[in-house]
Amino acid sequence: MKSYFEAAQLITPRGVVEHARVVIEDGRFAQVGTRADLEFPAAAQVNDLGESILAPGFIDIHIHGSGGHDVMEATPQGLLTVERALARHGVTSYLATTVTAPIAQTLEAVEKLGRWVEADQDPAGRAVALGLHLEGPFISHAKRGVHPPAHLQAPSIELFDRMQQAASGRVRLMTVAPEGEGAGAMIAHAVGKGVRVSVGHSDATFRQTRDAIAAGASHATHTFNAMRGLDHREPGILGAVLADEGLSAEIIADGVHVHPEMVKMFVRLKGAERAILVTDAISATGMGDGTFQLGGFQVEVRGDRCEFEGRLAGSVLTLDRAVRNTMKFASVALSSAVRMVSFNPAQLLGIEDRGVIQAGAIADLNVLRPDGEIVRTLHAGR
């Protein structure tokens, strides 16, 4: 069965198409064009969306939970709750993100998450898990944030392989501190297995970070946060991340983790082509103030601040709000901010049939107002 849509505009990686028309069939985009070049059948029941804007479904590559549940619980009910909460904010796919924990607990969680990803390919009314993001345990003690120090690990090919095997090969992204002994070899090994490696939670020097990029690292985790500060004589990891034109980098645009002016600078330096917006959201998202779970510890939430022992511990940001914040903070168009939550994360993960509205792609679709507010979300055309 075919569904027909028309709207004022459609967002592509290259900009905006005016007077857009889209045909969806069997969960994928069948035809994409304009009213001038795409004619609908006379009998077609057209979904006329008026002045709305069509955008690809959002992809969150760094999220720990939502709706009162942490992904490391790895229970069907908990993951269903998280995925439904994500869909309410335009997210149609995501990476379930772990936090450092005892190895046995981590292996148990990634095993359950791997099975969930394998089975979770046709969800209705919720986001779909594309894989796992391991945020830890291969990170720096000096820049660990709230990751428990007792469970941090030195880079280890053997431990990475155990985690990937437990996850049934579903680890898609891994955060690594470049300064760890053996980091380069582990990065090269992981990249050879098809995993994207992100530098982060690190006190690395500029040279150590450049070595990690040479080994295959292609991304940076929550830029500015849990990173050595920028110095004019030793640019450090932050200098390497901001200067490297080939490296994509993510940022938490909630106005708490990073000052709005720094978001503006980040977007100017990385460009709309390499910037990725993430939430780093925890179980508290959408739940109001209180005490909530992040991995194996409790986080206190007051307003937009999530803290553990006085340190920031994730966020309650949603990806649609990150889009609107970035439009405001960085003075960018809606089309540029949308690219940062759709096409760019899909490109990082090597996914060609999500994050873009084009014939053959999965029909993940957001209907937006000009200010970025969500009107409607479709996953695989539903």
Per-residue pLDDT tens for 327-352? 999 999 999 999 999 999 999 999 99
For residue 31, the tally of other CB atoms under 10 A from its CB is 17
pLDDT (tens digit per residue) in 33-62? 999 999 999 999 999 999 999 999 999 999
Average pLDDT, the chain: 96
> Which domains, from first to last, does the chain contain?
2-54+367-378 (2.30.40.10), 58-354 (3.20.20.140)
Do β-strands 305-308 and 297-302 pair in parallel, antiparallel, or remain unpaired? Answer: antiparallel
Say if residue 328 is exposed, middle or buried (CB neighbours under 10 Å; 0-12, 13-18, 19+): middle
74 vs 97, 129, 164, CA distance in Å?
11, 12, 16
The three-point CA angle 93-95-97 to 5° equals: 145
Pair of tokens at residue 166: 């437990």
Cα distance between the two ends of the chain: 12
Confidence of residue 122 (pLDDT cuts 50, 70, 90): low
Residue that the structure tokens 């330096």 belong to: 269
What's residue 381's pLDDT?
Answer: 92
What's residue 297's pLDDT?
Answer: 85
Q: What percent of the chain has pLDDT over 90?
A: 96
Looking at the predicted structure, is the pLDDT value of residue 124 above 90? no
Confidence of residue 293 (pLDDT cuts 50, 70, 90): confident
Judge contact between 321 and 262, C-beta under 8 A: no
What's residue 127's pLDDT?
Answer: 96
What's residue 366's pLDDT?
Answer: 98
Q: Of the candidates 305, 260, 255, 309, which has an alpha carbon nearest to the alpha carbon of residue 285?
A: 305
Give the catalytic positions in this structure: 280
What's residue 250's pLDDT?
Answer: 98
| Whole-angstrom distance, CA of residue 64 vs CA of residue 282 | 5
297: β partners: 294
| Whole-angstrom distance, CA of residue 202 vs CA of residue 145 | 10
pLDDT (tens digit per residue) in 179-205? 999 999 999 999 999 999 999 999 999
| Whole-angstrom distance, CA of residue 298 vs CA of residue 118 | 29
| Whole-angstrom distance, CA of residue 286 vs CA of residue 213 | 36
Confidence of residue 371 (pLDDT cuts 50, 70, 90): very high
Identity (one letter) of the amino acid at 12?
Answer: T
Phi, psi (rounded to 5 degrees) for 326: -65, -35
Looking at the predicted structure, is the pLDDT value of residue 121 above 70? no
Pair of tokens at residue 246: 């080939």
